[in-house]
Amino acid sequence: MTEIPDHLLERTRARRRALGLPVAGDDGGGAGGDAGPAPGGAPAPSAPAPMKSPVPIPAGDAAPDAPVVDSPQVAAHKARKKVPVWAMPVVAALPIWAFIYAGTVQEPGAPAIGPLEVGATLYDVNCAACHGGGGEGGAGYALDHGEVIATFPNATEQVLHVARGSSPIAGEPYGDPDRAGGQRVAGDLGAMPGFASSLTDIEIELIVWYERITLAGEELEPAQLATVLEDLQHRMETVGQEVDIEDLAEKVANGENPVLEGHA
């Protein structure tokens, strides 16, 4: 190693003495001793602390990013349950279902068209001209206020009379022989046409039940009335059958009442 010339070392020592810094080899101070008092009695300043070199950051090691915190709205969206895949076809079909359902909804206040309403229409078209719009009578016998019930206690016999008409039994009494005021006589108030050729059995029954329940006021047990109307409603929705007059006549002759008993 190259030695430092003495004159340079002496110059350095003189400079340090002028600054009041300790110089190795002087009296009262060593290489590691404390500095003596500065000129004028002031304490000698302490040696400055050596500066620390900054710790180098290795290249390529970037500081880690701070974690991203979701807002409450985003967190709620992520936590919300999603529509499962299997439900997608159902969701897609909802508009079609709504359209079909809307077509089946009846308007508020619209009256339901039941068997008695259909019977009333059939009566107006086929019977009202002779028996009156309210069954009060006219060219034909009166039906209202229990009149038709008094004549035909057996509903099946009334169906037979409407299907056959009065011409085949013209001049003959018909209906209940114990009727107050006597039996009706076929043809006394004109000939009643038979409707077996123009109406089906269910249409004739609808007329008969309209006459008995609405015009004549026949009282049935609530359960029996409900059964009658439900059965008629069901038969209205099926194809009507032709009336078998001979079969009806045989049942009437035997005292049977299948029209009423069939709903019991």
Tell me the H-state helices in 106-219.
115-126, 128-131, 147-151, 155-164, 201-209
Structure token pair of residue 149: 């019930």
Distance CA 215, CA 228 (A): 17
Which residue ranges make up each domain of the chain? Answer: 115-261
pLDDT of residue 108: 56
> What is the four-CA torsion angle of 130, 132, 136, 141, rounded to 10 degrees?
10
Cα Rg of the chain, angstroms: 59
Q: Determine contact, residues 192/230, Cβ cutoff 8 Å.
A: no
Q: CA separation (Å) from 122 to 112, 163, 212, 226?
A: 17, 14, 14, 21
**For the residues of 57-79, what is the DSSP string, one character each?**
PPTT-PPPPPPPPPPHHHHHHHH
Q: Is the dihedral of CA 232, 214, 152, 199 positive or negative?
A: negative
Q: What is the pLDDT tens value at each position of the chain, 264 positions in all? A: 566 777 777 888 888 888 877 777 666 544 444 444 444 554 555 555 555 555 555 555 555 666 777 788 777 777 777 767 767 777 677 777 676 666 565 555 545 679 999 999 999 999 999 999 999 999 999 999 999 999 999 999 999 999 999 999 999 999 999 999 999 999 999 899 999 999 999 999 999 999 999 999 999 999 999 999 999 999 888 877 888 899 989 988 998 888 877 554
Q: Which of 192, 102, 197 is nearest to 138 (CA)?
A: 192
Task: Report the topology of domain 115-261.
Answer: Cytochrome Bc1 Complex; Chain D, domain 2 (1.10.760)
Q: Determine contact, residues 153/176, Cβ cutoff 8 Å.
A: yes
Q: Determine contact, residues 184/175, Cβ cutoff 8 Å.
A: yes
Structure token pair of residue 51: 């500066």
**CA neighbours within 13 Å on the CB side: how many for 245?**
11
Distance CA 103, CA 230 (A): 24
The alpha carbon of residue 68 and the mean position of all alpha carbons in its chain are separated, in whole angstroms, by: 43
